[in-house]
Structure 1
């Protein structure tokens, strides 16, 4: 019966539109349900992080640094990692985290794209603290892709963005199983929305989303996984200086000068609040969720909008102010 339906182009299309109509008809109920969940989560009890152990990768700046501070305010012990570079500020960040309330902060320099280094910093964290409660996979790079740039320059993107989360997760799972722990993975809305100039970056984030959505079922109910899909957050990764230094498309203006951005402090607080309340997915800014729906249900409309919106935007970014 199903073969007959799907093999005929008319009935195959008709089934889609019938289901779409049903979805539209029940959408008010779905919106009410979403509203109820949102309101309920506002009053939901947060996990008590006092004395618990949180390992954060990519913690030397941006969202990783600010999440470390949010966890510190909640009394968590921290292990923070970053690749060792001149701009790595882990010692300073560790000092600030202690001042904000973290009882103990261990800082470790490591390259998340190297499997042995990931194994070592997970082992060092557990050896130092005796346990692991939260793993925050935040390390990532975001060069802007273009057809006229040497493709080999983008090889590290998958190594850092994808394997740089999968490796520490693999080694952390046995320890998280013992504590009924949590994993927060910083993916991106680019992994869903597939915007221009973010082809390689978006592909690495799409791989992250797919991996952790699958892993979620394998580790439940012992380990909870929170997948984060962010839009433009006002950190160094959306500056023209960062874009130029990573070997991608050179920009003359910061991305925040053209596209709407969210403040990093509010974003970091929302992420830590969300994972401590047990949310399975977090999107910030929240309006991006509407774009997910449009892309899924009306792909032609979405493609038209994105082509115009991002084409004009990047044209402005590559011109001097």
Structure 2
């Protein structure tokens, strides 16, 4: 160890901690003013061009409706054209200025480039890029039977947003546009059975945090980190250990996951509002924020909790046992409150 490194190891941590303590009141005041300003002033997107990947269902679909209500022009992208066109029709009825449907696979670099090129050819500009397409897995890492099960998730959840951003960035700089990427609370919470998904989402979080530094004020970046949300993924559509896409769809009140589900509409509404207000991060539901403190100050507590709750009895997580035992599942998710049947 060199002398300089030794000095930095001894001096830098306490001095940095002291500086943070001294600056904390000022930073808090600035955050409060920024938060108040964002509630009073938000971006008007009427007539602006919004590209949303993974918009044939789930959060992406409902983000399209949120933008439609604000009069935006939408470019909807996914692999299922029939579902995209159904979403497009509903978006028009909700107030979208125009809707353009593009079929594309976000794991393919050529498709990503083609989608951006087609958008610019159609509208001549791009104002918001919503990187929402995603995939999930539900198996322990050591149960992997085929490594394509690993790459399939990473290709969609990491490389898809990276490719799209690469081709979109020059156009977004010209319009002082914005990027929203759907990450996950799994980017900082180690949910078992989702090691590859969590790793890809953690990579996306770090990638866009770094890009925010590089892009400066020319492009705004918002990272959406939803918790378990009602979607095709939480109802059984995901990559299995053999690398196959499975569609073992559950009913909408029979969700997969270790915690209560957030409603898709609520997550989409929070995401778009956060985007228009220029927020760096949107965590939905907000209570997941507390796990950031545990990750920093008591990581062993989180590890113990998840190991005890979700690894000891992997066939039925304890949270699901509790829901069933108390009949809370029917209270939290009555069919009458779930939209879109």
Interval of TM-score (by shorter of Structure 1 and Structure 2): 0.7 to 0.9
Matched, 1:92 2:93: no
Structure-1-length-normalised TM-score = 0.85
CA contact (8 A) 1:243 1:251 kept: no
State the superposition RMSD in angstroms: 3.2
Structure-2-length-normalised TM-score = 0.81
Gaps of 5+ in 1: none
Structure 1 position 254, deviation (Å): 2.3
Structure 1 distance, partners of 2:58, 2:261, is 14
* SS across alignment from 1:193: coil
- Following superposition, which runs of at least 4 residues in structure 1 exceed 4 angstroms of deviation? 18-35, 241-248, 250-253, 317-321
Report what 1:204 is aligned to.
200
Matched, 1:149 2:158: no
**Cα 1:295/1:277, change in 2 over 3 Å:** same
CA contact (8 A) 2:113 2:167 kept: yes
**Cα 1:279/1:51, change in 2 over 3 Å:** same
**Cα 1:305/1:134, change in 2 over 3 Å:** same
Partner of residue 222 from structure 1, selected from 176, 193, 218: 218
Report what 2:108 is aligned to.
114
Structure 2 distance, partners of 1:101, 1:81, is 19
Structure 2 distance, partners of 1:171, 1:288, is 33
Structure 1 position 280, deviation (Å): 1.2
Instruction: Give per-residue Cα distances to partners, 1:45-71, cap 9 Å, x unaligned.
Output: 110000000000000000000000000
**Cα 1:68/1:188, change in 2 over 3 Å:** same
Report what 1:167 is aligned to.
163
CA contact (8 A) 1:226 1:278 kept: yes
Instruction: Give per-residue Cα distances to partners, 1:238-275, cap 9 Å, x unaligned.
Output: 11355669558x8986225x512211111101100000
**Cα 1:26/1:144, change in 2 over 3 Å:** farther
Structure 2 distance, partners of 1:124, 1:298, is 48
**Cα 1:301/1:34, change in 2 over 3 Å:** farther
Report what 2:117 is aligned to.
123
Report what 1:73 is aligned to.
69
Gaps of 5+ in 2: 325-341
Q: Which is further off, 297-306 or 120-129?
A: 297-306
Matched, 1:140 2:140: no
CA contact (8 A) 1:255 1:317 kept: no
Q: What pairs with 1:1-321 in structure 2 (closer than 5 Å)?
A: 3-4=5-6, 29=25, 33=29, 36=32, 40=36, 43-84=39-80, 88-146=82-140, 147-150=142-145, 151-240=147-236, 242=238, 247=245, 254-255=255-256, 258-311=258-311, 314-316=314-316
* SS across alignment from 2:315: helix
Structure 2 distance, partners of 1:242, 1:166, is 21
Report what 2:332 is aligned to.
none
Structure 1 position 145, deviation (Å): 2.8
* SS across alignment from 1:106: strand
**Cα 1:241/1:157, change in 2 over 3 Å:** closer
Structure 2 distance, partners of 1:239, 1:20, is 45
* SS across alignment from 1:238: coil
